Structures are given as C-alpha cells and as structure tokens.
Structure 1
C-alpha cells in the first residue's frame, strides 16, 4: 500500500513540475520569444500532457500571474501551434467519436468552449464585479451570459436528436432528468441576466446567481462527458449517429461549429426512396409526391400522433413555428416535451381517449408570433380513437386583417 501511495505522490509531483515548466513556456511566449525558440523546452516538458492540464494552466495564468483573459486568448493561437501536434499524437484515435464531425466530437468541442467561457472568462469578470460593481464590469457579465445562452442549441440537439434514440432503447430516466436540469440552466442564465440588467446594488444576489450558472453549467459538462456520451456510444448504431450528425445542422451549434463532415468508412446511409405510387382516398386520388408537397405548403404546421402516443408524421414547411427533427418519428410524444409540461400532454390525451373531449386550444406569445395551437382527437367511422392531430398557426397576420379584399392585388 505504501508503494502505491509513494507512486501516486510521485505522479502528482511530476505533474506539478510539468505544469510549472509549461507555465514558463507560455510566459516566454508572452514576453516575445518565438514558437521555434521554445519548442525544445516544450518537448522536454510535455510528457503525457492532457487537455485538462492545458485548461488548468490557462486558469493559473489568469488567476496567479494576472494575465488578462484577452491576452490568454491571444496566446491560445500561439501555444496551440506547439501543443497541437503533441496532443493529437497522444490522443489520436481510430474510434468514430474522435473523428471531426461525429456528433460526440462536436458536443465535446462545444463543451470546451463552454468550459472556457464559464470557468475562465465569466469567473474572472465576476471576481472583478465583486471588487467593483461598475457599469463596465456589469456589462462584461451581461455579454458573457448572452454568449452562454448559445448553450440552448447544444441542449436542444441533445434533447431532440440524441435523447430520442436512447429512449428507443429503453433509456428513459437519465434523459428526462437531464432535460429538466437543462431547463433549469436556461432559466438560471436568463435570471442572472435579468438581475444584472436591473441591478439595484445587491452584489450578493448577482454573485449568487452567476456562481449558480457557472456551477450548474460546469456540472452538466461533466455529466455529459462522463455519463451521457459513454452511454450513448455504447448504445447507438452507426446509422443513428449519421442521422444525428445530419440533422444537427437544422438546430445549429454552440460557440463553435463541427470540425469537419463525418463520413463513416462505408457507403453513406441514404433514406428509402419514395414510391411513385398513388393513394386513393374517398374524395380523390393523389400521388405520394403530390400529397407530401400539399401538406408542406399548408400555412400551418401539423403533427400526427397515433393511438399509442407515438409521433408518426409532421409537415415540413419552409418556416415551422416549433422546431422538429426526423428523430422524433417513432418517439412517444411525452418524451418530446420537457418534464415540466408532460402532465399537460398526459391529461389531454387521456381526455381524448376517454371521449371526454374532441378538441383543445391553446394560444401563446412565442418570440415575434402569436401562436394558435389546436389539438384534435382523430376518430374512425365507429368513433374509435385513432390518434391526435396537432395544428399550429401564427395568427398575427390574421388578427391584423381589416376591411375587405374582393379583387386580385
């Protein structure tokens, strides 16, 4: 046991020594030395350096050496030229998730940017605010929070692309819990920003709100990288990762973008070709292409949920009000909503199935739109419940109508 302890202490000592050497290299760069001049020192110091150690180094430069965030960011482009080759050699992997463009690779790239923003930049700005609550320091924190809200895209891709596939394999609990925490982080960012924009001199309230954002965001990064991502990599198929990578573009990325386009070493997955057949209905005959185009040209968004609460179809017009991805197809509607609103969905479907209601309406302000959301119970000729139709429309233009129009414009 004593031998193990001694070895562990030696590792810690070597790590500390290496970090001191690396810190000296960065300071030399800061003082004007060229990349070529410090390369030899770096090769002696690098050992098995990890990305985490570089992060610790950057934080030490700001906190202990007093180098401003802007200067550390400028130095990043310089010391990356030295670090890049060594880190890539150490961490080079043939596994798909380590290849540029793979969804996990992109999620991790975003997490690095998130970590840099909250634990270096925002932390430093908060400490300055605590010393002096000047307008400049308040504005710096507001800017940080505005940037951080980009995390909404990261969470939305996770919730709407990754979670549906995990749920398909029966992994429900972790996704529902994590979605609830994501919503809490979104709300905390908005709340901290609101306190800052309406600052009343209560420094303690600001500190508490911003520290909470830093803590919760950092913990989510840890949970994703140590729990969610490994679980997903063990579960999902290559085809599913291809679809997630493709659909991610529709939602967007957080603070950065994919480092490349990921293509597995095989023939690229393609969706099944649409049949050229026709669908005969009671009041007409349409080709599949005509039917799909017709539905996509409706000035409303429609979604159909079957009798088992599974999403079977949604229209895909040019400007959807609420975002949908193909990953929701085959997913239960309860798992398409954040945990805090699932009970509303459950109550509505229960009343439709019991025949208590045939329609329910909601109307909400959403961004720059006034949205009218209607749900209809779909029943067959015998009155049996077949599913639910969701019908969503921006009614702002309709409410603005006045007078009459009887001729062509």
Structure 2
C-alpha cells in the first residue's frame, strides 16, 4: 500500500507541474519509470484516490497522453520503425487515440459526467466504422488466405460486441438511466483497451511478419474509402505491385514462422491455406472480378429489376430478362428514339444530349400501373476517363419497397 501511495504522490506532483505549464517532455522523462511500472490494476485505484482528493477529471486525463506516449515508444523499441503513411503505422496511431479516449471514458464514468460520456461514446462509435471496418474488410482476408481464420473470427466478434455495447450506452443515456450508463461506460472502456492490447501485441506483429509490401500497397489504395479514427495518414508510396488476397502466395516460410507471436504459431499448427484460384478458364476479367459468360447471363436474368443499355450512338445494345415494359430481341440495334412514342422523342433527345455533354447525370420518373408503383431511372455510363459510352435505363416495381418501415435484421424463414 505504501508503494501505491508513493506512486500516487509522484503523479500528483507531475499533474501540478503540468497545470503550471511545464514542458510535457521534461515531465515525461522524470516519471517515465513510474508510468512504466504502474500495472493495469493500479491505474483505476490511483485515479480514484486522486479524484477523492479533488483532482479534476480533466487533469487526470492528461496522464492518458503520457501513458500512450510511453507505450508508443515501447512498441517502437521492439519493432522496426514503420514509415509514416504505411497502413500498419496508421493502425498503431489510431490505437493510441483509442487508448486515450477509452481511458477518458472510464474517468468520466467514475465522475458521473454524463454529457462527456455521451460525447465520447458518440466519438468512439466511429472506431467501428473506420478502424475495425478496415481490419475486417481489407486485412483479415490476407490472414484467411494463409489459413489463419480463428483469430480474425474472434476479433470480429469482439468488434461487434464493442459496437453493440456503445449503442447500449447511448440508449441508457437517452433514457436517463445514468447508473446503468456509468457501468456500461466502464465496460466499454475496458473492452476497447483490451482490443488495443490484442491488436498491438498479437495481430499487428503477425501482419508485419506475414504481409508483403505489395499487399500493404493494395490496402493503402483502398483504406481511404473507410476513413480513419482521429488521424490523417500521410502519403506512402511503393514500387511494389499491389497484391489482393486472391493473388498472394499463401506459403509461410520457416523464417516467418519463427518471427510470429506465440499465439499465432499455435494457430498455424491447424492452419489450412486457401489455395483456390479466383480466375478460371473461360472467365471474363473485369475491374472488380471474374465471371463466366453463362454466369453473367444468369446474373442479368436474376436481377430484381429491368435494365436496358443504349450505346453512344443511341442504339439499343442489351436488355435484361426481367422487364416491366415489353422488350424482345427485335429491339436490339434499334435507335432508342424510335422505341418511344413520337410525342416523347424530344424528351429522350434532351436527356441523351445532357448526358453526352456532361451537364446532367440522372433523369428519373415514377408512374402508376394499376395498383403498382414503377420507378424509372436513366443514368449515363462513362469509362474511367469520363468519356460517354452510353445510357443505362433501370426500371423497377417498388410497390412493396414503399411499404417498408423500421428495420429487419433477423432472417424470418419459416
């Protein structure tokens, strides 16, 4: 107990120095040994003591930044420094921010500062939409191809648990259930910090050992679509060819195996790499996948709406089988202007002209056919350079869609 009191007194002195405006780096050097020696069990005890003695939550929260700084330095000592902008560097930096906010959430829960709990909970929900989403969508597939499936599955389940509990926390606050919100906030803070530990100590070292520069390059190209948690990654470039999960070599060398965290080594004993080939003989290669002609044909027939493609010369080139308005093969090659009543041709011409000159990117209509409600959409089709290739007409019976209310998240098959 006397040792704990000594640590508390040193922290109090450090906080007073911070409050006076003393340089953070100087204080960090002085109490580096102290912060490094504080165990996870001691932190809440010391925080509680400081709060009882009148130290504000805001002052105690400043220690979070020092904690994270020292943790980052410890990580960098153990791992070769990653270049800024590298996707793994970004993940580490996000975890620093998550740790800070999780510690502050726990502090606000102790002081029952409901407004600040609410503010932080809303902020932390973004972790699920950014940090976790990138891992689940962009990174886990590389591990799964190598036969490492248990860890991604476990982490994803933990991610979802955090997402759910953050929603519950906000619901408790909205309902005025402040005591339950306080307990839920503590639980969420603990789960977030536990996830940071799992990632920094197990997941990220494994990724650093296994993924090649080409794989990281592919991740870098896609990560901006998901966004980031409170960090702005710098540019990172590589001459390596971007490699997607289906393009990688799944074999793990003995050298890589030796560098893996022990938890991953154990998993590797049962690992069965996924050696399936994505591109088959006869496949048509497209920007976002590979399909056989018969699959493409069946796919278009299965779409729950009708489509018609008019090429850049205004001739009908294609239509799908599921139609609301009648279409037969005799329409193929026909000028689209002749497919409409004469009184409507000027509207067709107006739409096509606007699509071709780029002044418009959509034209839509909705009509009633008996008791059905039909939606019709026209959109221009362009290549990667923005050149006009034609127009796509989409027609859909949305009668049943207009009746939908609320949410449906559970399969209700009988």
Equivalent in the alignment of 1:139: 115
| In 1: Cα distance, 2:197 partner to 2:71 partner | 21
| In 1: Cα distance, 2:229 partner to 2:145 partner | 26
Larger Rg, first or second structure (1 or 2): 2
* Structure 1 residues 106-121: aligned runs within 5 Å: 106-118=90-102, 120-121=103-104
Equivalent in the alignment of 1:269: 240
| In 2: Cα distance, 1:141 partner to 1:204 partner | 12
Equivalent in the alignment of 1:221: 196
Question: After the TM superposition, which of the residue ranges 89-98 and 27-36 deviates more from structure 2?
Answer: 89-98
1:17 CA displacement: 9.9
Corresponding residue to 1:193 among 159, 170, 191: 170
State whether structure 2 residue 107 is matched by structure 1 residue 124: yes
1:204 to 1:32, Cα distance in 2 relative to 1, 3 A = closer
| In 2: Cα distance, 1:94 partner to 1:122 partner | 29
State whether structure 2 residue 219 is matched by structure 1 residue 244: yes
Equivalent in the alignment of 1:183: 160
Q: Is residue 97–residue 230 contact of structure 2 (8 Å, CA) maintained in 1?
A: yes
1:53 CA displacement: 5.3
Q: Which of structures 1 and 2 has the larger relative contact order (alpha carbons within 8 angstroms, sep 6+)?
A: 1
1:19 CA displacement: 5.0
1:158 CA displacement: 0.5
1:171 CA displacement: 1.4
Corresponding residue to 1:154 among 97, 118, 131: 131
State whether structure 2 residue 6 is matched by structure 1 residue 35: no
Q: Is residue 142–residue 197 contact of structure 1 (8 Å, CA) maintained in 2?
A: no
1:215 CA displacement: 2.9
| In 1: Cα distance, 2:108 partner to 2:18 partner | 22
Equivalent in the alignment of 2:11: 23
1:168 to 1:63, Cα distance in 2 relative to 1, 3 A = same
Q: Is residue 97–residue 103 contact of structure 1 (8 Å, CA) maintained in 2?
A: no
Equivalent in the alignment of 2:88: 104
Q: Is residue 215–residue 242 contact of structure 2 (8 Å, CA) maintained in 1?
A: no
Q: Is residue 109–residue 256 contact of structure 1 (8 Å, CA) maintained in 2?
A: yes
Q: Is residue 364–residue 376 contact of structure 2 (8 Å, CA) maintained in 1?
A: no
| In 2: Cα distance, 1:193 partner to 1:250 partner | 27
| In 2: Cα distance, 1:125 partner to 1:140 partner | 7
Task: Report the RMSD for the aligned CA atoms in angstroms.
Answer: 5.1
In the alignment of these two chains, the number of paired residues is: 275
- Structure 1 residue runs of 5 or longer lacking an equivalent are 1-12, 130-136, 273-304, 316-328, 331-351, 363-375, 377-396
CA displacement, residues 42-67 of structure 1 (integer Å, 9 cap, x when unaligned): 656545964x8599998777533233
- Structure 2 residue runs of 5 or longer lacking an equivalent are 244-277, 306-320, 322-362, 369-374, 378-414
* Structure 1 residues 252-291: aligned runs within 5 Å: 252-258=227-233, 260-263=234-237, 268-270=239-241
TM-score if structure 2 supplies the norm length? 0.51
| In 2: Cα distance, 1:256 partner to 1:57 partner | 29
1:69 to 1:256, Cα distance in 2 relative to 1, 3 A = farther
1:230 to 1:361, Cα distance in 2 relative to 1, 3 A = farther
| In 1: Cα distance, 2:110 partner to 2:78 partner | 42
1:400 to 1:194, Cα distance in 2 relative to 1, 3 A = farther
TM-score if structure 1 supplies the norm length? 0.51
| In 2: Cα distance, 1:42 partner to 1:97 partner | 21
1:57 to 1:181, Cα distance in 2 relative to 1, 3 A = closer
1:159 to 1:97, Cα distance in 2 relative to 1, 3 A = farther
CA displacement, residues 124-159 of structure 1 (integer Å, 9 cap, x when unaligned): 222222xxxxxxx33222111101101111001111
Q: Is residue 12–residue 50 contact of structure 2 (8 Å, CA) maintained in 1?
A: no
